[in-house]
Amino acid sequence: MMGQLWAFVVGWNIILLFLIAIACTARAWRYAFESLIGDRISQKLEETVPLHAPYFLATDADFFALGLVLLLAVLLALGVPESAWVYRVFTGINLLVLSFIIVSGFINGDLHNWKLTEQDYALATAVFSYSLGPPGAGGFVPFDFEGVVQGAATCFYAFVGFAAIAARESGDLKPQRSISLISLLMCFLAYFAVSAVLTLMVPYYQIRHHSPLPEAFLHVGWGPARCVVAVGVLCALTSSLLGDMFPMSRLIRAMAEDGLLFRGLARVYGHTKIPVVAIMSSGSLAGIMALLFEFSHIANLMAVASLLAYSMVSFSVLVLRYQPGQNLSKSEKTEEETEMELVPVGSPLDSVPEAGTSNILKSLWFPTSTTPTRKSGQIVYGCAFLLVLLLSILSLVLAQWPRRVFSGDPVLTTVAVLLLLLITGVTAIIWRQPQSPRPLMFRVPALPVLPLVSIFMNVHLWDLGPVWRLECHWTTGSGSS
């Protein structure tokens, strides 16, 4: 029962991540398309279908994004081979345009844009009529380390593609090949290079948030290249939409077959076994989100969902490695059961609590077996939940009062040190428990430290980045309404 509950929670969280990613990408697709034709769609939508709605909804209903998502859902429902062919074409165009952006961006870049001052910002304010972004402190890192962390938290959704790979139904999926360090490094280099050329071509406070890359080439005087880049961005966003919708429908079908969702969602049609019901229902839900919600809010929600999903995966990796096997035969007995049989029946009642407490404390540091038992698995479960709580408190303290903690504030520094000591002690208890010897295709190294570091980083990015911004948006909106 506990396994089904966790499968339901993790599966729903990943589905939510895909839904938000599709809605956000559909909105971005409209903005990229408008960079080719002007802001005609936005103006028309604001005139015809304005939403006089609460502050957390968009100012206009984006029927364009809704129609785009439904169109791609129909394309997927018509057949996987056809949509896979379109996906390959768009991916090839995406790679070509990406290479063009990086090379031409470095050619047209200006290193002075990494050394901007307040005088440059004041001059730009006097020259340009549109509103500029915040000035920051100037220089190479205008918003300090906190700004870097907040940006990283918002862009964490970039790794949702690897979740899509893991959600495939293919039985011959090899994590060492499909999700390798080389592929992770390539994605990082692509994002790093595009961010570098963008800030070299355009001062950071002049970047247009809705269509930054096409507007950047217009800024440097490469007008024709703007159209090429816009087409490439559209192809990239289209392939991203297909890449999110395809595994999401497969995940919904798998959960429905296991009884975690409605059975009707697992219904397939034709010889290609396409889950039409799952595709159309999930596509309709994602389209409604794109229709109603603001782009910035969807992007922040997507970052929150990404961080939460990867935190839950890290927690699951930590706990499952220390659980006993589920395929023990009825004749097999664990050492724990054997010890219970050896306890004398006539032992004094007053010594039972003391002996039980002594055995529990002893098993925390000196396990009775070299393989996982039910008791050791329960110990790891309890310690893991306690560590999540301690790491969350530590992250909150570091996010809210970083300067006071590192400057030696007696109260906050003491709290941080005590939390670190408790985290170290509980981690050592988990480290002493036996791990499962079962062979796996891929085993996460450095347990239990690596999953705990991952959880802490995810929670800390969560505290510093999208959650804080969503709270500011909603607080400001509720106050203004």
171/257 same-domain check = yes
255 & 378 share domain: no
CA 447, CA 435: separation in Å to the nearest integer? 9
**CATH number of residue 94's parent domain:** 1.20.1740.10
Report if residue 10 sits inside a domain: yes
Domain match, 252 and 376 both: no
pLDDT above 80 (res 60): no
Asked whether residue 452 falls in the same domain as residue 308, the answer is no
Q: How confident is the model at residue 67 (pLDDT cuts 50, 70, 90)?
A: very high
| 70 part of a folded domain | yes
Task: Give the closest residue to 411 by CA, choosing from 431, 397, 421.
Answer: 397
Residue 361 covered by a domain? no
The pLDDT assigned to 430 comes to: 93
Choosing from 278, 312, 346, the residue where a domain stops is 312
Number of Cβ within 10 Å of residue 45's Cβ equals: 19
Residue 201 pLDDT greater than 90, yes or no: yes
Of the listed ranges 352-366, 390-404, 466-480, the one predicted with least confidence: 466-480
Query: Given 272, 294, 312, which residue is the final one in a domain?
Result: 312
Same domain, 39 and 125: yes
Pick from 287, 312, 337: which residue ends a domain? 312
Domain-located, residue 349: no
Number of domains, the chain? 2
pLDDT bracket for residue 167 (50, 70, 90): low
Contact 375, 323 (CB under 8 A): no
Same domain membership, residue 296 and residue 432: no
Residues 289 and 429 in one domain: no
Whether residue 207 sits in one domain with residue 144: yes
| Least confident residue range of 168-177, 212-221, 236-245, 383-392 | 168-177
Selection from 86-90, 158-162, 233-237, 462-466 with the highest mean pLDDT: 233-237
Q: Is the pLDDT of residue 452 over 90?
A: yes
Predicted local distance difference test score (pLDDT) of residue 351: 44
Per-residue pLDDT tens over the stretch 103-124: 999 998 999 999 888 888 888 8
pLDDT at residue 52 is higher than 50:
yes
pLDDT, position 339: 43
Please enumerate, as own/partner, the contacts of 256-259 that have beta carbons within 8 Å and a separation of 24 or more. Answer: 258/4, 258/7, 259/4
Query: Per-residue pLDDT for 169 more than 50?
Result: no
Q: Would 351 be classed as within a structural domain?
A: no
Based on the fold, state whether residues 306 and 379 are members of the same structural domain.
Answer: no
Judged against a pLDDT cut of 80, whether residue 21 lies above it is answered with: yes
Q: What is the pLDDT of residue 345?
A: 42
Q: Residue 229's domain spans which residues?
A: 2-312
Query: pTM of whole model > 0.85?
Result: no
CA distance 458 to 452: 10
Structural domain contains residue 333: no
Distance, in Å, from the CA atom of 164 to the CA atom of 169, rounded to the nearest integer, reads 10
Nearest to 211 by CA among 236, 184, 187: 236
Residue at 136 is within a domain: yes
Do 375 and 255 share a structural domain? Answer: no
Are 141 and 148 contacting, i.e. CB atoms less than 8 angstroms apart? yes
Structural domain contains residue 62? yes
Of 171-185, 277-291, 412-426, the poorest mean pLDDT is in 171-185
Concatenating the DSSP letter of every residue in 324-352 gives PPS---TT---HHHHHHHTS-TT--GGGH
| Least confident among 23-32, 339-348, 409-418, 440-449 | 339-348
**How high is the pLDDT of residue 306?**
80
Q: Mapped to the 3 state alphabet, what secondary structure does 187-234 carry?
A: HHHHHHHHHHHHHHHCCHHHCCCCCHHHHHHHHCCCHHHHHHHHHHHH
* 257 and 158 within one domain: yes
Asked whether residue 386 carries a pLDDT value surpassing 90, the answer given is yes
Residue-level pLDDT at 342: 42
Confidence at 281, pLDDT banded by 50, 70, 90? very high
- Rounded CA gap, 446 and 453, in Å? 10
139/247 same-domain check: yes
